[in-house]
A and B are shown apart, each in its own frame.
Chain A
Amino acid sequence: MNAPTKASAGAPMQNKPSGYWARVAGDGNKMGFWFVLPTLLLMLFIVIFPLLMQLYLSVTWWTPLEGIAWYRAWEVFSWGENYYFLATDPRFWGALWRTLIVMVFAVPAQFFLGMALAYLFVDQFPGRKFFYSIMLTPMMIVPAVVGLMFFLLFQGTGPINEHLGLPSNFSWLTDVNRAMISVIIADVWQWTPLMFLILLAGMLGVPSDQLLAAKLLGGSNWQNFVKIILPRMKTVIIIALVLRAVECFKIFDLIFIMTKGGPGVQTETISLFLYKQTFGELEWAYVAAIGLTILFSLSVIAAKGLAYMAKNNG
C-alpha cells in the first residue's frame, strides 16, 4: 500500500452530542422518541394536512356558503383560475404595497429610535432600572388594546387634536392620508421597545474593555460607535430587523381595531385584505390560493436569506 492514508479516514463528522450520552444513545433514543412524539404529531397535524388541503381548495371555487362539504370541493374545480385572478387583482397588489409601506416606514423608525434609546441606557445612571421598565411596557400590552388606545387618542375629540390645536372635525383615522400615518405611529409606539430591548442587549454585549481601549486610543464617542460598537452588533441588528420585518408583514390587530383597513382600503394590508376576503366575500378558495402564494414566496425569501447569512458567516 503506497497510497498515503488520511488520518481522519473512518472518523466521520459527528453531529451528535458527545460524552456519555453518545455511547449509550440506544436507550436514550427510545425515551427521546416519546419526548418528540407529541411535537411531531402537532407539526404533522398543523403542517402537512392543512398544506395539502390548502393546495386542494386553492384550485376550486369552493366557499362555505353553498353547503358543499370541503372534501367534495372537486365538484367545483377551477384549475388555476384563482391564481390567474390573483395575479391581476389590484386589491391584492394594493394591499401588498401598503404592507410594504408600513414596513418601510415603521421598521426603520423603530430601529433608529431603538438604537438611540439603547445608547441612552447603555451606561448606568440613577433611575435606569425604573425608566427601563417604563420603556418596555408598550410591547407588553395586548396589541388589540394598543389599537384601542390609539383609536381613543386619534379621535376628533381626542387629546391629540386638542394638543395640536386642531378642530375636532380634523380627523386622523378616517382621513385618506393620515389614517396610514396614525397606524404607523401606533406600531412604532408599540414595537420600538422591542428594538430597544434587543439592541440594548447587543450593545451591552460589546466588551467594555474594547470600548475603553478605543477611548484611550483617542477615538471620539461617534468614531467608537461607528467603528467598534456597530460592527460588533451586526448579528444583533440583523436579528432585530428580521424579527420586526416578519412581524410587521403580519400586522393585523392594531389596524383592525383602529381603522378596519379604512377609509376605503387606505390602510388595508395583506392580513386585513385576507380577513375581508375570508369573512366579507367568503371567497375561501381564493384566500387559500393567496395564502399559498404568500407561503411559497416567504419560504423562498427565507431560504435565500438563510443561505446568504450562512455564506457570509461561514
Chain B
Amino acid sequence: MVLQHFTEIGKSASIQWRVIYALLMREILTRYGRHNIGFLWLFVEPMLFTTGVTVLWTLADAVHGSSLPIVAFALTGYSSVLLWRNMPARCIGAIEPNLALMYHRNVRVIDVFFARLLLEAGGATISFIVLSLFYIYIGWMEPPEDVLTVALGWLLLAWFGASLAMLLGVLAEKSEIVDRLWHPASYILFPLSGAAFMVDALPPAAQKYVLYVPMVNGVEIVREGYFGDHIHAHYDLPYLVVFCVALTVLALSQVATVNREIVPE
C-alpha cells in the first residue's frame, strides 16, 4: 500500500519534471530564439547589468558606510537584486502566453511558473558565479571567506524571490493592477533591499526596522559569507525563513485557486 503510494508519487514527479523541462526549452526558444548568441543571453544580460553597476559604483566611489572593497560590495548587492527582482517580473504575465499549452492536461500554472523561475534563478546564479570567478581571477576581488554561507544567503534570497514571484504571478492574473504596481514597487524596494548599504552603517534605531525587509537579511548573509570577520552582519535568520514559508504557503494556495479558474484558449 505504502509502496503503491510511492510509485504513484514517482510517476507524477516524472510527468511533472517532463512538463517543466519541455516548458523550459520552450521558454528558452521564444525568449532568446536562435539568433546571435541565443540562450547565452540568459546570463550575459545580468552580467552586463552587474558589471555596469559595479563600474559606476567604483567610479562614483559610492558611500556605503564602510571601507569594504567596492567591487565585491557591488557584485553581492546588485546580483542579489537581480535574483529577487527578476523572478516576479517574469512570473507576472506568465500565464497568458501559455494558455494554449494548457490544452494539455498535465501542463498547469505551477509548471509554467517553475520553468520561468528555474530559468531566471539559473541566469542570475550563473551570472553571479561567473562574474565572481572573473573578478577574483583578474584581482579586483578576494575570494569569499565562506562559500557555504554565501550559498545559504543566496538560496534564501532565491526562495524569497520565487515565492513572491508565484504570488504576484497569480494575483496579476486576477487583477492587472499588480503589474502596474510592481514596477514602481520594485524600484522603491531596490534602495531599501540592502543592496547599496550595510545594516551596520545605519543608525541603530533604523537597523531594527530595516531588518523587517526580508531581502536585507538575505543580502547580509551573502555578505557575511563574502567578507567574514571584516564586517559585522546583521540579520534574523528565523525571521527570514518564517517569512519565506508563509509567503510560499500563500502563493501555493493562490496557485491552486487560479488552477480551477483557468480557461485554456
Specify whether A and B are partners: no
